Amino acid sequence: DTVLTQSPALAVSPGERVTISCRASESVSTRMHWYQQKPGQQPKLLIYGASNLESGVPARFSGSGSGTDFTLTIDPVEANDTATYFCQQSWNDPYTFGAGTKLELK
Amino acid sequence: EVQLVESGGGLVQPGRSMKLSCAASGFTFSNYGMAWVRQAPTKGLEWVATISYDGSSTYYRDSVKGRFTISRDNAKSTLYLQMNSLRSEDTATYYCTRVNNPYWYFDFWGPGTMVTVSS
């Protein structure tokens, strides 16, 4: 299975820029997608196809990367961005998710 | 507005069966593939199964093959997951999701239904 590795946690101050990384154990082309999950809620799609912003998602969120290295950027971070962010690949079977990066605000 | 609402979860003994349902509304259900994704308590997300828009193709993760069956009723706009021979490791919140082609990502999620497998 394709393993997606994410940093477990980050802490930033409101107004700062934050980058969340996701590294794949093998190429996933640009079939990388990002989700936000707030406590007690279901995940919400933010970015699809590595860099495409889902409709209704603020332009503060952006994605980049291809192959094995991907990044989700939030600029500027707001207080309500506190959540866990998951990457997911759909290039290799089975589809897999990263373990998530928990973003905390200072 | 797209809505997905799961039902059917609860407490079940190991080895027993349970059937989950997902009622869909706000979009043309028969035009979309659908999937189940689960999340064990305090754990990450795990894809379980996918079904094509017309039900002709199904896909499963290895750990549930032969035990789980995904199906759909397009006339009722409802997705199902029949789970047999349940194990403690199947304990999780099960999310119904809509699959977006051709990238195969999950663009809408239901609030989830909790399944606890325990004696």
Task: Give the SS3 label for residue B63.
Answer: helix
The reply to whether residue A42 touches residue B105, judged by beta carbons under 8 angstroms, is no
Contact assessment for residue B35 and residue B47, using Cβ atoms and an 8 Å cutoff: yes
Beta-ladder partners of A95: none
Mutation for A interface: B64, B98, B105, B108, most A CBs within 10 A: B105
Chain B hits for A70, CB-CB cut-off 8 Å, are none
What pLDDT does B13 receive?
97
**Average confidence (pLDDT) over A78-104:** 96
Chain A hits for B42, CB-CB cut-off 8 Å, are none
The reply to whether residue B47 touches residue A96, judged by beta carbons under 8 angstroms, is yes
Q: Is the peptide bond before B41 cis (omega within 30 degrees of 0)?
A: no
| Shortest Cα–Cα distance, B74 to chain A (Å) | 24
Structure tokens that stand for B49 in this block:
């199964």
Q: How confident is the model at residue B37 (pLDDT cuts 50, 70, 90)?
A: very high
A91: exposed, middle or buried (Cβ count in 10 Å: 0-12, 13-18, 19+)? middle
pLDDT tens for each residue of B52-85: 999 999 999 999 999 999 999 999 999 999 999 9
The reply to whether residue A94 touches residue B95, judged by beta carbons under 8 angstroms, is no
Task: Give the SS3 label for residue B31.
Answer: helix
Task: Give the SS3 label for residue B97.
Answer: strand
What pLDDT does B102 receive?
83
Q: Where are the alpha helices (DSSP H) in chain B?
A: none
Residue A62 Cα distances to A53, A54, B12, B55, B82, angstroms: 7, 10, 42, 34, 38
State percent of chain B over pLDDT 70: 100
Q: How confident is the model at residue B43 (pLDDT cuts 50, 70, 90)?
A: confident
What pLDDT does A55 receive?
96
